[in-house]
């Protein structure tokens, strides 16, 4: 029903823009990762695998990458442990308050990242709210230093930030669970627990996968929370990239790390998409 | 049937849900409370209630410059992302072309890709073509990254639209241009406003992409970021409180507009993840 001209008119402008501002930049990133930096900070365009070799040879990168994966894993797990029950409660028990409660979750979802990160900084700091509270109750007598500037602080902050992200697809998948299946399970004598395990949980797997991917990918690429609350022991892989693009001035190596991250993210998305399709009825 | 299910009480689950809400809102409440605290950003109990930090904030010229910059960037970013997101959504909904699947993925990628990768790649592009970093590069970055949000929002609106009206218009002799302005556009108006609000808020808060593309003039989040390194005062709590108030109100309006045209629980974040949600039903 739509003419050829119409289809070109709506297709070509976004296609061009996306090519110039997304596809070409990713291609440049790809190219950079095979170049090197000569003395005097000149980027030399001789193609080689030096950057990638360095990633595997220098144990610093591997250590930080593994730490980032561990932190991302912890955040994902915690976000699921907080987000799933919340989504389940909203979908099956919230009744009339559902809409209000849903809005209460999306407010922190879209509200400022920086503001929430900053809030945790003021809470966890050595003269922060938590330390003040503990001393007020005479539980501790001097500031506890390890709340802030630790992997723990990064995990806590990012869990706070990404729990609503995880909640969202889980809630959507729970809302799509056919209620007559749940009722059939009850009528046939299954306990609420076994109805949950055998009917609801499997049907909500696509949401769990989507939510988990979200939390994992976004945490893995985060460099702001480590700077804000992480300290030296909370440094993550993206912080290395940031420093390579800043003071350390080694764009090619930074590009190689970014490209690895990009590949990891894209393959993860591809894998979850395949899995989701398998679990979706 | 759901009545029977929903009336079944689950005190344990209810308590747990309440605790999760408490966790989500605890830092926000602390932040707001301490913006009125006379004795600094930490410590307990807060003491010496004061509006001084707000007073200081309103006299802070460089902060307001940053606010103005952020508003300009956000406004232009809204124009860019809607200007391209609208045709992109129409294309995904109505056109078949080679590489459509790749196009869809590429458009949506910035939604789920960590901001650092989008920011860095754009930095390389701008440096490569010799463009000086400034608010212009920041705006182009925001506009590009947020096309993803515009596309998912408008696409959702298109899916709910009654196709018969457009068909009738075309059958009765109106051309595509006229049909678009008389039928498609009015039908999408609410989706477009909702998308604009969300994009505006997201641009105002954006920091990861901005971090790499910023020149001499700061946006508000970058201004706050640079102050965080110089030591913190409740003035930052005060500006954060105002930012929160602003985002909460726009988010609530966005949500209201959105539920007016479509059912809840299908936000851009989710559309990016659930593969089915952006594959047109009518093709």
CA distances from A248 to A9, A270, B103, B119, B214 (A): 45, 33, 35, 18, 19
Q: Under CATH, what is the fold of the domain B62-278?
A: MetI-like fold (1.10.3720)
Residues B147-165, mean pLDDT to the nearest whole number: 89
pLDDT of the residue at B50: 85
B1 three-state secondary structure: coil
Query: Does B102 touch chain A if contact means CB atoms closer than 8 Å?
Result: no
CB contact under 8 A, A160 and B27: yes
Where are chain A's structural domains? Answer: 58-279
pLDDT of the residue at B272: 55
Q: Is the pLDDT of residue B281 over 60?
A: no
Only one residue has tokens 């939604």, namely B111
**Mean pLDDT estimate for chain A:** 89
Q: What is the CATH number of domain A58-279?
A: 1.10.3720.10
Residues B103-126, mean pLDDT to the nearest whole number: 91
Chain A, 168 to 227: residues with Cβ < 8 Å from chain B are 168-169, 171-172, 175, 179-180, 182-183, 192, 206, 210-211, 213-214, 217-218, 220-224
pLDDT in tens, B261-278: 655 445 666 665 554 455
How close does chain B come to A69, measured CA to CA in Å? 14
CB contact under 8 A, A119 and B14: no
Interface test mutation site (partner A, options B13, B98, B106, B124, max chain A beta carbons within 10 A) = B124
CB contact under 8 A, A103 and B31: no
Share of chain B above pLDDT 90, in %: 47
Where are chain B's structural domains? Answer: 62-278
Higher-pLDDT residue of B23 and A134 is B23
Angstrom distance (rounded) from CA A64 to CA A60: 6
Tokens of A133: 């509270």
CB contact under 8 A, A118 and B107: no
**What's the ipTM?**
0.90
pLDDT of the residue at B261: 64
Its pTM stands at 0.89
The radius of gyration of chain A from alpha carbons, rounded to an integer in Å, stands at 23
pLDDT in tens, B198-252: 999 999 999 999 999 999 999 999 999 998 887 788 888 899 999 999 988 988 8
pLDDT in tens, A150-169: 899 999 999 999 999 999 99
Query: Does B43 touch chain A if contact means CB atoms closer than 8 Å?
Result: yes
CB contact under 8 A, B205 and A5: no
Buried b (16+ CB within 10 A) or exposed e, B203-221: bbbbbbbbbbbbeebbbbb
């Amino acid at each position: 029903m739509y003419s050829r001209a119409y289809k070109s008119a709506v297709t070509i402008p976004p296609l061009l823009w996306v090519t110039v501002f997304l596809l070409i930049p990713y291609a440049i990133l790809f190219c950079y990762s095979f170049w090197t930096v000569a003395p005097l900070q000149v980027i030399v365009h001789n193609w080689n695998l030096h950057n990638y070799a360095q990633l595997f040879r220098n144990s610093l990168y591997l250590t930080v990458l593994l730490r980032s994966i561990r932190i991302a894993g912890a955040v994902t797990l915690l976000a699921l442990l907080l987000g799933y029950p919340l989504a389940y409660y909203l979908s099956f028990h919230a009744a009339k308050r559902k809409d209000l409660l849903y809005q209460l979750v999306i407010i922190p979802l879209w509200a400022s990242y920086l503001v929430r990160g900053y809030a945790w900084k003021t809470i966890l700091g050595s003269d922060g709210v938590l330390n003040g509270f503990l001393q007020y109750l005479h539980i501790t007598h001097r500031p506890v230093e390890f709340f802030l500037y630790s992997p723990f602080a990064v995990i806590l902050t990012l869990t706070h930030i990404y729990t609503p992200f995880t909640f969202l697809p889980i809630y959507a998948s729970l809302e799509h669970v056919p209620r007559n299946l749940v009722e059939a399970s009850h009528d046939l004598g299954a306990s609420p627990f076994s109805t949950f395990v055998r009917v609801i949980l499997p049907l909500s797997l696509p949401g769990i996968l989507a939510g988990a991917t979200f939390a994992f990918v976004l945490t893995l690429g985060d460099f702001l929370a480590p700077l804000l609350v992480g300290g030296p022991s909370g440094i993550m892989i993206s912080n290395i990239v940031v420093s390579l693009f800043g003071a350390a001035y080694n764009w090619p190596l930074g590009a190689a790390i970014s490209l690895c991250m990009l590949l990891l993210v894209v393959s993860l998305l591809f894998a979850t998409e395949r899995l989701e399709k398998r679990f979706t009825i | 049937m759901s009545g029977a299910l929903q009336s079944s009480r689950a005190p344990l689950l209810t308590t747990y849900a309440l605790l999760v809400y408490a966790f989500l809102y605890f830092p926000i409440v602390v932040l707001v409370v301490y913006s009125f605290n006379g004795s600094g950003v930490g410590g307990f109990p807060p003491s010496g209630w004061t509006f001084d930090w707000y007073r200081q904030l309103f006299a802070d010229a460089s902060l307001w410059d940053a606010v103005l910059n952020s508003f300009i960037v956000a406004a232009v970013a809204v124009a860019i992302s809607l200007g391209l997101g609208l045709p992109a959504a129409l294309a995904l909904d109505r056109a078949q072309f080679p590489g459509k699947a790749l196009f869809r993925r590429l458009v949506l990628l910035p939604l789920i890709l960590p901001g650092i990768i989008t920011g860095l790649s754009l930095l390389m592009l701008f440096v490569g073509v010799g463009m000086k970093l400034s608010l212009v590069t920041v705006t182009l970055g925001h506009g590009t990254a947020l096309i993803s949000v515009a596309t998912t929002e408008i696409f959702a609106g298109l899916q709910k639209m009654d196709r018969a009206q457009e068909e009738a218009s075309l059958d009765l002799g109106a051309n595509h241009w006229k049909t678009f302005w008389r039928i498609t556009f009015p039908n999408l108006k609410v989706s477009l406003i909702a998308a604009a609000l969300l994009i505006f808020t997201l641009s105002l808060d954006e920091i990861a992409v901005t971090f790499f593309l910023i020149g001499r003039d700061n946006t508000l989040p970058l201004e706050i970021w640079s102050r965080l390194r110089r030591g913190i005062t409740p003035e930052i709590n005060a500006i954060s409180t105002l930012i929160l108030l602003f985002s909460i109100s726009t988010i609530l309006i966005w949500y209201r507009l959105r539920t007016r045209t479509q059912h809840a629980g299908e936000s851009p974040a989710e559309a990016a993840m659930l593969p089915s949600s952006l594959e047109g039903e009518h093709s």
